[in-house]
Structure 1
Amino acid sequence: MRDAFLESTGRMLQKNPDSVVVLADIGVSQFREAGLFKYGGLSDEYSDRFINCGIREQLMIGVAAGLAKEGFRPLVHSYAPFLIERPYEQIKIDFAHLGLGGVFVSVGASFDASNSGRTHQAPGDVGLLKLIPDFEIHVPGHADEAAVLLDEAAAGDGRVYVRLSEDMNSTARPVEPGKFHVERQGSSGAPAVIAVGPMLDRVLEATEALDVTVLYATTVMPFDSWTLRDTGASEVVPVEPYLLGTSAAEVSGALHDRPHRLMSLGVRNMELRNYGTLEDHIEVHGLDAESLRDSISGFLAK
């Protein structure tokens, strides 16, 4: 996904002369290796459209907001905790309160950087941004999907968050920003399982013997209430690669006029003090295929 991001950024810089990239040290080496940015940069055509603020994440957001106020389209990038959690107040005030647009692209997801410890993990990032109005939030599950969503974000003028991850599905699915993709159709009124981004492959494996409709979400805000309602489901299981329950209010809101049952699956709100691998974390949080099968089957059997 990071390669797709670098390529999309190159297209953005080429197509939009008012686009600019703002960094806080993270990502500088990747952009330099991609030939987009050089230290000194005198021979690179995009050098003057990269601003590296150093390890000052609040400043990074403030600089990006200032550029947006002057008519530029800023793209801001870092690890999820450094992009969303640390400068959260600046996003809330400098961007949202002033009604400014920008593209926020993170790497690291909930625990991609498992060997870097808790400082580099952000399972609560999507839940935090949901508290700020008018944010589009995209969670691609494949590099090709990330490219589509990044290009769309770069071409727009709103506030967009694109959450990249190392965890990916085996193949890309059709992506229409703001819409769920019906990956598997169950019988009329069958329970609906909403697989968000990189959760899809494991959800499909976990539910292969169950009569359920599987919806695939690469955009979680705004939430696609209509596609969920069209399934006719009265039992819904969102499976999210971030904090468990993040989309629960949106599911209940979509079905507010129907009796329904809801079970949220995602990253559990607990403090892990072991490093481990990405796969270890997936298993501990019950997001591997076997654990998902047990959880979903048990819920539907009640």
Structure 2
Amino acid sequence: MRAAFSDALVALAQRDPKVLLLTGDHGYALFDPFIKACPDQYMNCGIAEQNMVGVAAGLAKAGFRPFVYGLSAFVPIRVLEQIKIDICYENLPVTLVGDGAGVVYAQLGTSHQSTEDIAALRAVPGINIYSPADRFELTSCMNRAYDEGLPAYLRMGKADLGDVHSGLADAGSADDLVSVGGNKARYLFLGTGSGVKLAERVAQITGGADVVSCPRLKPFPEASLHELAKGREGIVTFEEHAIDGGLGSIVAERLLGSYNGKFLRIGIQDRFSTQCGDYRFLMESHGLAPEAVAGRIAKAFNAGA
């Protein structure tokens, strides 16, 4: 996914010399192709993320199209005030890219993990939020953010869990909900980011579920959601983010009063990571192993059946 991000950014920068890449001393080899192709459009702002967002805002006011890259624990979390005032209040065409979202920086602890970024940004007016599931959705989201020319946040997990689509055309529009598998099964599994891959694996275990990806979280394609929810016995949301304020909250808020089936949110509970290990170990410690999740769904949906 990170390579696809680099490729998409290089393509945009070659097409538009106003496209700039700002990084807070991150990226390293990831941006070698960009630096080679567009050396005058690259700025390393150093480990000063709050200042970097201010610089991006100034450049946007001067007619440039900045892409601001950082770890999602820092962009957007460390720079939330600057995003709110410098970018969103001014409605500037700045795209923020948060890499390593969720708990993928497992060994680095809570300071480098980001499970609250969607929740924090949702309440800020005027910013669009994207959370692609694979390289094809990422390319679609990047192009959409550029075309719209509005404040945007692109959430990117560093762990490459594999594609969920066969190509860019299969990924559909970044503005809508995208079917990954199934057609009007009993249950609807909605995932975003790495949560789509988890939803796929759980669907293989449980059976009887359609899997749908949600690459755009704000504004959310509400009409498509209501259409997909019709006739479902149960709906489950999957995300590598806190269950409060993320995809689960978004879906619940929009279905309130119109959906009477069972509903379950799968994600990070209200706690920090308390153990150290690799990515798979940490996901398991948060109860997000596919087998554990399948067991929770079976228990929740069969209760009282």
What TM-score, normalized by structure 2, do the two folds share? Answer: 0.88
SS in structure 2 of the partner of residue 9 of structure 1: helix
Cα distance in structure 2, aligned partners of 1:234 and 1:130: 28
Cα distance change on mapping 1:98 and 1:155 into 2, 3 Å: same
Shift of 1:201: 3.0
Q: String of CA shifts for 1:114-137, please: whole Å, max 9, x gaps.
A: 122222111111111111123222
**What is the match of residue 271 of structure 1?**
272
**What is the match of residue 193 of structure 2?**
197
**What is the match of residue 179 of structure 1?**
176
Partners of 1:19 and 1:72 within 8 A in 2: yes
Q: String of CA shifts for 1:70-110, please: whole Å, max 9, x gaps.
A: 11111000110111111110001001111112111121111
Cα distance change on mapping 1:186 and 1:50 into 2, 3 Å: closer
**What is the match of residue 40 of structure 1?**
none
**What is the match of residue 254 of structure 1?**
254
Partners of 1:145 and 1:172 within 8 A in 2: no
Of 138, 157, 166, the match for 2:130: 138
Partners of 2:156 and 2:193 within 8 A in 1: no
Instruction: Structure 2: state its 5+ residue gaps.
Output: none
Cα distance in structure 2, aligned partners of 1:164 and 1:23: 15
Shift of 1:267: 1.5
Cα distance in structure 2, aligned partners of 1:167 and 1:17: 31
Cα distance change on mapping 1:138 and 1:290 into 2, 3 Å: same
Pairing 1:79–2:59 present: no
Cα distance change on mapping 1:183 and 1:48 into 2, 3 Å: closer
Cα distance change on mapping 1:104 and 1:139 into 2, 3 Å: same
Shift of 1:3: 1.1
Shift of 1:167: 3.0
Shift of 1:183: 2.8
What percentage of residue pairs aligned between the two structures are identical? 24
Shift of 1:238: 0.9
Aligned ranges for residues 188-267 of structure 1 at < 5 Å? 190-208=186-204, 209-231=206-228, 232=230, 233=232, 235-245=234-244, 246-260=246-260, 261-267=262-268
| Counterpart code for 1:5 | F
Partners of 1:96 and 1:132 within 8 A in 2: yes
**What is the match of residue 294 of structure 1?**
295
Instruction: Structure 1: state its 5+ residue gaps.
Output: 38-43
| Counterpart code for 1:181 | V
**What is the match of residue 4 of structure 2?**
4
Partners of 2:137 and 2:174 within 8 A in 1: no
Cα distance change on mapping 1:77 and 1:267 into 2, 3 Å: same
Q: String of CA shifts for 1:189-227, please: whole Å, max 9, x gaps.
A: x33221222222332232234333322222222222222
Cα distance change on mapping 1:248 and 1:11 into 2, 3 Å: same
For the aligned residue pairs, the C-alpha RMSD in angstroms reads 2.0
What TM-score, normalized by structure 1, do the two folds share? Answer: 0.89
* Number of aligned residue pairs: 293
Shift of 1:10: 1.0
Q: String of CA shifts for 1:158-206, please: whole Å, max 9, x gaps.
A: 1221112233443332321121122334557x33221222222332232
Cα distance in structure 1, aligned partners of 2:189 and 2:48: 40
